Amino acid sequence: MTSKTTAPFSNLRWSKADHDLMVSMLRDGKPYKNIAKSLGRTQKSVEQHAYQSRLNLRKAGVSETAILELMPTNYPKRTRKQVVVKEPDGVKRPIPKQQPIPISEPTPKHHEIEGAMFERRIVELYVATAVSAIGVWVLAGAFIYSLI
């Protein structure tokens, strides 16, 4: 069997000593990369084992604060670059003026239209329906005539 130091990808089981060393290094604030190097394992395997260990503690009913005290997550802090946008010399942008929002009268709803407008729309609907029905019958007749 190969040793841990020569074969980091050998899929070895975690011993109690390895687990304890990982926990103590996590408490000391060591990054996963250094822990993996000292254990002869990959960084991902150390991260996964720490995750699974925390998960088992959660299932056992240990509070989240106690879990993070026992095994803190030691991911490096990410810092974002501050981007400063400077205006070119001599260029001034105009400040936009706020326009008042016009108050418009409400548009009438369809069911509120009365009188001649309503009758005209009904007639238009009847005509459109009749024309489309006639068109369907003409097309059907032409189709039947073509079959004869």
Cβ contacts of residue 67 below 8 Å, gap of 6+?
A: 54, 57, 58
Write the pLDDT tens digit of every residue in 51-102: 999 889 888 888 888 888 888 877 666 677 777 777 777 777 777 777 777 7
Q: Which two tokens stand for residue 119?
A: 């009758």
Question: Is residue 1 over pLDDT 50?
Answer: no
Q: What is the pTM of this model?
A: 0.46
Greatest mean pLDDT among 10-19, 54-63, 94-103, 116-125: 54-63
Distance of CA 71 to the CA centre of its chain: 29
| Average confidence (pLDDT) over 31-42 | 90
Three-state SS at 93: coil
User: At a CB cut-off of 8 Å and minimum separation 6, what does 7 contact?
Assistant: 40
Q: How far apart, in whole angstroms, are the C-alpha atoms of residue 105 and residue 112?
A: 15
